[in-house]
Amino acid sequence: MGSTNSDPFLKNIPSIKFTKLFINGEFVESVSGQTFETIDPRSGDVIARVAEGDKQDIDLAVQAARHAFDSGPWPRMSGYARGRIMMKLADLIEENVEELAALDSIDAGKLFSWGKAFDIPNVATMLRYYAGAADKIHGDVLKMSQELQGYTLHEPIGVVGHIIPWNFPSTMFFVKVSPALAAGCTMVVKPAEQTPLSALYYAHLAKLAGVPDGVINVVTGYGPTAGAALASHMDVDKISFTGSTEVGRLIMQAAAASNLKHVSLELGGKSPLLIFDDADVDKAVDLALLGILFNKGEVCVASSRVYVQEGIYDEFVKKLKEKTKEWVVGDPFDPTSRLGPQVDKQQFDKILTYIQHGKREGATLITGGKSIGENGYYLQPTVFTDVKEDMLIAKDEIFGPVLSLMKFKTIEEAIKRANYTRYGLAAGIVTKDLNVANTVSRSIRAGTIWINCYFAFENDCPFGGYKMSGFGKDMGLDGIYKYLHVKSVVTPIYNSPW
Ligand code: ADP
């Protein structure tokens, strides 16, 4: 199975070591014995069959996490001791960078060179960031009255369900798992069905690092079965979800209808990039292309709406069309590729349908628009001009390499149009004028604003949306608080009337 002998990158393809569910420190078959195929988007071939977890498996995993939380060492050990184990896990990840990057490349079509240089090394640094925070979690001393004194304790929230998407399988795993570990929680991770492989590898490394049994459980399987069972489980204290706005709504409903578990949602986006007349046009073009083509547009913060001020619009369009050619589509293991294949046939078809909508609605296709080759899910980088805000391509999250380009006259108009969306995940501004940058960054209702840069993420920078892009922050110290309860402890003072 997997890549054929004609695969020119056969040497890069790792053997698949882990395909079973990871529950209570062991790899196990699913209760039903069912498996599902995980597909190589470079070819559409099957890479491996993976255990298909369902409600019964979620029950077992939650039971293990519950036991580890209620009676196990993890929430009870010092933050420092937890941090030491997390540091060890980070080291093990660094020792296996190539294999982990390759797993995400065959499973998700992600560029191997990027995975090796960024995605995988960055999850090690993320673990270390939160490992360093694990022994710095503390509450406050409260002033209260002359009769009472009080303080707050920050306690781990309990058993957490992490439901994660396929576009950054490794990053998403650790964006969720690292702060929850630092907080002292135990957890069940439900990776996306498209990309189960690296999550299982991380479960194995966590065990090697000394994470106690039951603290991290991984149940691979589908959303409406395994995911839904986790979201509606009576013994799960919190769901941390990243994915589509539609499924985010289902998660909240399931949480409300079950035990009112806490929910945080990192959902879709349709992020605007605003480019003003004083911008360096070459730099602005590079940022716009990076913003939409990085990770083949499968990024929740992709700059899928680019607004260019009229003074530089024509020059911008000409240069953008030219520079799009530098974004070579090809095998994710080929070092000359800058875009790999879309993750699966469903996404590939969905993107092509949006491109048809764009044409039908009257937008002008200036480059791209087609699929590439007979095998796999490769698409040309695609740019539309003459886009109007009420067209589907300007409103919906396409999650592919499709850019909508629009022209504006004034700063007020740009702000109004940028905010004309149900989403509010991120936005970008390109200008040399500090007043413009400050005005726009305070006027756009989005969780992250990048000025003269894009995709500038760091571990200490909180990330999360406004509006229908969700709520609750990942990353940064804010990323830990959602895994903590605040408990108030109050006691009378000596000689008080109590
Ligand atoms: P995308 O559109 O990016 O594939 P989804 O929101 O469909 O994102 O999927 C993100 C995660 O949510 C995946 O792990 C998926 O299996 C899971 N999921 C999908 N449907 C449900 C559901 N009804 N309940 C819980 N989880 C779900």
Ligand 1 touching residue 90 (CB < 6 A)? no
Q: What is the mean pLDDT of each run of 10 residues along the chain (498 residues)?
A: 70 96 98 98 97 98 99 98 98 98 98 98 98 97 90 98 98 98 99 98 98 98 98 98 98 98 98 98 98 98 98 98 98 98 98 98 98 96 97 98 98 98 98 98 98 97 98 97 97 87
Q: Which atom of ligand 1 is nearest to the CA of 242?
A: 10
Ligand 1 touching residue 470 (CB < 6 A)? no
Q: What is the pLDDT of residue 498?
A: 84
Ligand 1 touching residue 193 (CB < 6 A)? yes
CA atoms within 13 A on the CB side of 486: 11
Ligand 1 touching residue 231 (CB < 6 A)? yes
Ligand 1 touching residue 447 (CB < 6 A)? no
Atom 16, ligand 1: residue with shortest CA distance: 223
Q: What is the pLDDT of residue 361?
A: 96
Q: Which atom of ligand 1 is nearest to the CA of 192?
A: 14
Q: Which atom of ligand 1 is nearest to the CA of 222?
A: 16
- The pTM assigned to this predicted structure is 0.97
Burial category of 294 from C-beta neighbours within 10 Å (exposed 0-12, middle 13-18, buried 19 and up)? buried
CB 269 within 8 A of CB 423: yes
Q: How far apart are CA 390 and CA 396, in angstroms?
A: 10
**pLDDT (tens digit per residue) in 440-482:** 999 999 999 999 999 999 999 999 999 999 999 999 999 999 9
Q: How far is the CA of 298 from the centre of ligand 1 (A)?
A: 15
Q: How far is the CA of 195 from the centre of ligand 1 (A)?
A: 12
Calculate ∠ Cα 263-266-271, nearest 5°: 150
> Of the listed 26, 94, 98, 266, which one is catalytic?
266
Q: What is the pLDDT of residue 496?
A: 83
The string of DSSP letters for 107-137 reads HH---HHHIIIIIHHHHHHHHHHHHHHGGG-
Ligand 1 touching residue 250 (CB < 6 A)? yes
Token pair, residue 318, equals 């000409």
CB 199 within 8 A of CB 218: yes
Q: At what angle do helices 79-95 and 97-108 cross, to 10 degrees?
A: 80
Q: What is the pLDDT of residue 4?
A: 60
- Residue 155 falls in the annotated catalytic set: no
Q: How far apart are CA 119 and CA 104, in angstroms?
A: 10
Ligand 1 touching residue 73 (CB < 6 A)? no
Q: Which atom of ligand 1 is nearest to the CA of 250?
A: 23
- Locate tokens 């004034």: which residue? 410
Q: How far is the CA of 166 from the centre of ligand 1 (A)?
A: 9
* DSSP 8-state code for residue 225: I
344-351 — which CB contacts under 8 Å span 24+ positions? Answer: 344/39, 344/41, 344/194, 344/377, 345/44, 345/377, 347/298, 347/377, 347/399, 347/400, 348/377, 348/379, 350/398, 350/399, 350/400, 351/297, 351/379, 351/398, 351/399, 351/400, 351/401, 351/402
Q: How far is the CA of 226 from the centre of ligand 1 (A)?
A: 10
Q: What is the pLDDT of residue 132?
A: 98
Q: How far is the CA of 277 from the centre of ligand 1 (A)?
A: 40
Q: How far is the CA of 390 from the centre of ligand 1 (A)?
A: 27
Neighbours of 475 (CB within 10 A): 23
Element at 357 (helix H, strand E)? helix 345-360
Ligand 1 touching residue 227 (CB < 6 A)? yes
